Structure 1
Amino acid sequence: MSRKITSIDRRDFVKKSGLGILGAALAPSLLARLNAGERLRTAHIGLGGMGMADLDAISSHELVDVVALCDVDSINLAKAKVLHPNAKTYEDYRELLKDMADDIDAVIVSTPDHTHAPASMMAMEMNKPVYCQKPLTHHVSEARAMNKLATEKNLVTQMGIQVHSFYDYKLATLLIQSGIIGKVHTVRAWSPKNWGYDGPGPSGSDPVPAELNWNLWQGTASERPYKEGYYHPGNWRMIMDYGCGTLGDMGVHIFDTPYNALELDVPETILNECRLPTGFGFPEHNIVTYDFPGTKHTAEKLKWVWYDGGGAPSRHQDLFLPNGEVLPDQGAMFMGEKGRLLLPHFQQLPRKIVDGEYVEMDIESLNLGKPVKDYDAESKKHYHQFVDACLGKGETTAPFSYAARLTETILLGVIAGRFPNQTLHWNSKKAKFDEKEANQFLDGNYRKF
């Protein structure tokens, strides 16, 4: 059984699940504990591929103690337990939050996309800081609800876009905001990855693996029979009920720097050129065009075009490189009134192009130090920034107030994929499309499980 859950009543879901009553009244003040010189106690929900990477990065901070681990797959859970033998283990995040309310200080959510909001909202209702993987949510209404709750409770939050803290991306942000190519009128961004599926949905069912709690894996999503190879452990990103396609995976990373550098809000119109919807999987190829209101770094309007699928975008004069060079596999190109800036993804320095030639840039004056090409060291900065903020040292750079707007932008492009070749008009103030038929996809159906 499922029902429509809106941004207004998501907290009802938390309360009716039996966890909303726990709140701060039953938990010692994190600030008081930290003032007493205690360490940050973390709970980790989701321990698959990215979950293990998150666990490794968070726990590498010298003041972190991992006290709780949760995964619906017992194999994942066992692997994490070997690394943190003193941590309590759970397969249901609701039980973890209920049982450990007084014993955790921060929560890391690294589940498939459809569980990001339910798990994060429960943790935040208990006044716990949350680090949540990207994209922040599966639905637009969830992104707004998470931002609202985090703001109301003044919680430390961070979305898991670790390249946000990388040298090359910070450099590109400073360059754009310095006006190195003047006001930007167009951004083109691309990824060859294909987190889409153009085939039919599966028929029949397969036995659920002994290590997997299929009911808990589905969580609030609509119930389906298990089918090997379609969902767990790796292909859920392709499926509408669970993921957000390539936009929700690589799009968040590649959008992040232009979005941040140009200080964008959400778009006014969205057009997705893709195949007709199947109701099951995302399109394997998307060309999404967004029109944004202007900012101090852009022209009166900003055009943004996203390409994903089998390769780099088709040849366009905006994307011609000097000396006949080939575009990097993934990246973004800023077009401004005084030239272009190429930003490969990732750990490659941005390059300025004027009149078809590369132009040297003075980056020493920006005081970023020497370029860094160390993924392990660079990625940990983003995680440690969250831990430090929880400890009262500094702030995060991708809090939910920022992440919610970026995620909303991404998800509007995902929704536009259900209406191929049709321009959708977004009313940010009302949080509605002018095209009423599109509004049904702003929310999800939360199943009782």
Structure 2
Amino acid sequence: MKKRDFLKSTAALGLTALLPTSIWALSKNGRLRTAHIGVSSMGGADLAAISSHPLVDVVALCDVDSNALAQAKKLHPNAATYKDYRVMLKEMKSGIDAVIVSTPDHTHAPASMMAMDMGKPVYCQKPLTHHVVEARAMRKKAKEKNLVTQMGIQVHSFYDYKLATLLIQSGIIGKVSTVRAWSPKNWGYDGPEPTGSDPVPETLDWNLWLGTSAERPYKEGYYHPGNWRKLMDYGCGTLGDMGVHIFDTPYNALQLDVPMTITNKCRKPNGFGFPEKNTVTYTFPKTPYTTETLKWVWYDGVGAPEKHKDLLLPNNEKLPEQGAMFIGEKGRLLLPHFMELPRHIVDGKYQELDLSVIKESDNLGEPVKSYDEEGEKHYHEFVDACLGKAECSAPFEYSARLTETILLGVIAGRFPNKTLHWDSKAAKFSEEEANKFLDAPYRDF
């Protein structure tokens, strides 16, 4: 796929394209036929969750690894199988109602855009894209095509996160001035770029795995199946993995848009892997739930977060391994990640949560402490939206902006300790040297 084809303007829509995609789905006996691009690891989890919906028929499976494809085929013996998503979408266009994209990050946008160009609703794993330009293009395409879309941030639909959102918006800690969020995970690589090459496993189509990314020799243990998140050409580091989940609730609760400035304190770039430790500081413009500006600090890597008075807990308790702290005018709210209730802190003491601010119309439900019960909600919401029975809570209109924010922090890692200034309207940095990282050429494959 050529980049010019990916970014070209959508042609004038026909009359049928003006109808919601959900209406088309309802005309097919009230069931949803799904095609899955990427079925190993997280893709396998996505496949299981989507197919658990009683009105879903899995009709197509695609993966560049024949072992993963064979395992998925055992679970869905009636589904057609492919190793090239382009071939699958072209051959099965009329037999597919929705597409699930669960590939490494660098293939999210090419696969999703092709599906949306065909008028298909898309569920795409997080982060939505690998580059800022792609995120903006996907948001635009979903709007032009009037499509049901959802980004795969499952915890967005969990009780604890919805509760935290409602509490913050109720004013429980007043206007929020700062958010501090952290994960000690290390999706970075500070070592040297590998040299030489290894034989490509017979089960792997390396050309299709690379997809639109630059040509590179295969090296065992560096890319497929598990380490690509560490590498600049394919993933988005810890910020693009755990950061998306942990950013989501504060971003949503505070109704943030994209930041004005971004600074990443990290090691010098090596051109191959992301830094193993990052401290990213954002500033955001005012919203109804923040002070004049909002400061957001993200910490990742072993030992994260750095010690700070904002993160001190009552009774000298240890911080949750991962989470976020809202600092407001009237106190703090700690949101562990995940499956734990938020904790209200005032003057160094825990306060009982005031749930009287939660209205019945908020549809919060009851606390759920089982991932098996909570885990499928986000997926089923997408299916129900395709069938005209619900609305998605993380559509590309929202998730593209969240992803853009994440990716700006990733880019800042190429300019350690330098503050970058982002012009959202112009979609570029004031620092010209940073603009070349907003996009990358697509390889023909």
TM-score in terms of structure 1 length: 0.94
Q: In the TM superposition, what are the counterparts of 1:263-274 in structure 2 within 5 Å?
A: 263-274=255-266
Measure, in 1, the Cα distance between the counterparts of 2:403 and 2:262.
14
Measure, in 2, the Cα distance between the counterparts of 1:30 and 1:381.
18
Q: Offset at 1:40?
A: 0.3
> Counterpart of 2:163 in 1: which secondary structure?
helix
Measure, in 1, the Cα distance between the counterparts of 2:123 and 2:59.
16
> 2:288 is matched with which residue: 279, 285, 296?
296
Residue equivalent to 1:325: 317
The number of residue pairs the alignment matches comes to: 436
Residues 43, 13 of structure 1: alpha-carbon distance in 2 compared, 3 angstrom cutoff: farther
Unpaired stretches in structure 2, ≥5 consecutive residues: none
> 2:332 is matched with which residue: 319, 334, 340?
340
Measure, in 2, the Cα distance between the counterparts of 1:168 and 1:69.
33
> 1:242 is matched with which residue: 214, 229, 234?
234
Matched, 1:430 2:426: yes
Unpaired stretches in structure 1, ≥5 consecutive residues: 16-23
What is the CA RMSD across the aligned residues, in angstroms? 1.9
Residue equivalent to 2:123: 131
What CA deviation, in whole Å up to 9, does each residue of 1:210-260 have, x standing for no partner?
100000000000010000000000000000000000000000000000000
> 1:306 is matched with which residue: 291, 298, 313?
298
Matched, 1:415 2:422: no
Residue equivalent to 2:182: 190
Measure, in 1, the Cα distance between the counterparts of 2:161 and 2:30.
34
Residues 373, 201 of structure 1: alpha-carbon distance in 2 compared, 3 angstrom cutoff: same
Measure, in 1, the Cα distance between the counterparts of 2:441 and 2:10.
15
Measure, in 1, the Cα distance between the counterparts of 2:24 and 2:347.
59
Q: Offset at 1:14?
A: 11
Matched, 1:256 2:248: yes
Measure, in 2, the Cα distance between the counterparts of 1:57 and 1:153.
26
Matched, 1:34 2:26: yes
Matched, 1:208 2:200: yes
Residues 244, 14 of structure 1: alpha-carbon distance in 2 compared, 3 angstrom cutoff: farther
What CA deviation, in whole Å up to 9, does each residue of 1:410-449 have, x standing for no partner?
0000000000000000000000000000000000120000
Q: In the TM superposition, what are the counterparts of 1:48-447 in structure 2 within 5 Å?
A: 48-363=40-355, 365-366=357-358, 367=360, 368-447=364-443
Residues 225, 305 of structure 1: alpha-carbon distance in 2 compared, 3 angstrom cutoff: same
What CA deviation, in whole Å up to 9, does each residue of 1:153-173 have, x standing for no partner?
110000000000000000000
Mapped contact 1:14–1:121 kept (Cα < 8 A): no
Q: Which amino acid aligns with 1:408?
A: E
Q: Which amino acid aligns with 1:54?
A: D
What CA deviation, in whole Å up to 9, does each residue of 1:299-334 have, x standing for no partner?
010000000000231221000000000110000000
Measure, in 1, the Cα distance between the counterparts of 2:271 and 2:439.
16
What CA deviation, in whole Å up to 9, does each residue of 1:2-31 have, x standing for no partner?
98x47xx5245999xxxxxxxx89xxx862
Measure, in 2, the Cα distance between the counterparts of 1:136 and 1:369.
28
Measure, in 2, the Cα distance between the counterparts of 1:252 and 1:30.
27
Residues 180, 42 of structure 1: alpha-carbon distance in 2 compared, 3 angstrom cutoff: same
> Counterpart of 2:442 in 1: which secondary structure?
strand
> Counterpart of 1:446 in 2: which secondary structure?
coil
Matched, 1:43 2:39: no
Q: Which amino acid aligns with 1:410?
A: I
Mapped contact 1:188–1:304 kept (Cα < 8 A): yes
> Counterpart of 1:444 in 2: which secondary structure?
coil
Q: Which amino acid aligns with 1:412?
A: L
Q: Which amino acid aligns with 1:129?
A: P
Residue equivalent to 1:20: none
Q: Which amino acid aligns with 2:149?
A: T
> Counterpart of 1:108 in 2: which secondary structure?
strand
Identity of aligned residues (%): 75
Measure, in 2, the Cα distance between the counterparts of 1:132 and 1:229.
26
Q: Offset at 1:386?
A: 0.1
Residues 379, 33 of structure 1: alpha-carbon distance in 2 compared, 3 angstrom cutoff: closer
Measure, in 2, the Cα distance between the counterparts of 1:12 and 1:296.
36
Q: Which amino acid aligns with 1:337?
A: E
Measure, in 1, the Cα distance between the counterparts of 2:348 and 2:23.
55
